[in-house]
Amino acid sequence: MKKINQICIVVFIITIIATGLTTHGWQCSEAFGDSSKTPFVQKSTPTSSLMRIINSHTAKMLEAIMVGDFNTVIKKSNDISKAGNAIMRMFFPEGKQVDQWFTEIGKDPDNPEAIKLMKDDFEKYSNAVIEASGNIAEIAKNKNIAETYESFEAMLKNACFACHEVSRAKK
Ligand code: HEC
């Protein structure tokens, strides 16, 4: 009786594997995101790379807030400030034309007035990032997750999204 049970289980498992292979194939390409649709291609310009660095620090900061790792929150705040300090230099490089991000939002890189207006906004919002991340570090010292999260959200809203609102194409 026991033996028959074992055989039944083995046959059952083989049937499942065989069905899986015939319906999905060996490759399982869908599972790896390798579908026939146009893949999402990331840009690699100096400005988008800087933003991805800031974004990575920001994501790690949220993770640290969630688990209450306040030392990492403070460390990430420093990293964000450092990257924030590079914003003006990267987006308005001395003696060079502004990069493609500017034309992508329909602005003319040969119009000094348009550049001046955007530069003023960037000055304001890059300072907002530095200020907001400093504020997060201050609040993190109290070791209160909810309060620290609120200051994190304030940075996203008042610095990240506020700047994106004026400087990125709408999606
Ligand atoms: C001073 C303006 C400004 C601030 C502040 C700012 N961003 Fe950006 N961000 C931009 C611009 C402009 C782009 C588009 C860059 C490009 O296309 O080259 C961008 C692009 C991005 C991207 C897309 C990068 C990619 O793959 O193309 C991410 C993610 C991002 N920002 C995250 C953040 C986060 C997180 C913060 C806040 C901590 C932040 N940004 C603060 C202006 C800003």
Q: What is the pLDDT of residues 23-41, one digit of tens each?
A: 544 454 455 555 556 667 7
Q: Is the domain of 54 the same as that of 20?
A: no
* Domain total of the chain: 2
Question: Taking the model in full, what pTM does it have?
Answer: 0.81
Nearest residue CA, atom 1 of ligand 1?
Answer: 122
> In a mutational test of the pocket of ligand 1, which residue from 98, 160, 161, 170 has the highest number of ligand atoms less than 8 Å from its CB?
160
Q: Is the domain of 50 the same as that of 27?
A: no
- Cα-based angle 41, 101, 97 (whole degrees, multiple of 5): 130
- What is the Cα–Cα distance from 166 to 170, expressed in whole angstroms? 10
What residue numbers bound the domain in which 140 lies? 46-167
Q: What is the pLDDT of residues 74-109, one digit of tens each?
A: 999 999 999 999 999 999 999 999 999 999 999 999
User: Within a domain: residue 12?
Assistant: yes
Q: Is the domain of 78 the same as that of 27?
A: no
Task: Please tell me the predicted confidence (pLDDT) of residue 76.
Answer: 98
Instruction: Using the mean position of ligand 1's atoms as its centre, give its distance from the Cα of residue 48 in Å.
Output: 7
CA proximity to 151, closest of 136, 163, 140, 138: 136
Q: Is the domain of 60 the same as that of 93?
A: yes
Looking at every residue in the chain, the average pLDDT score rounds to 87
User: Within a domain: residue 120?
Assistant: yes
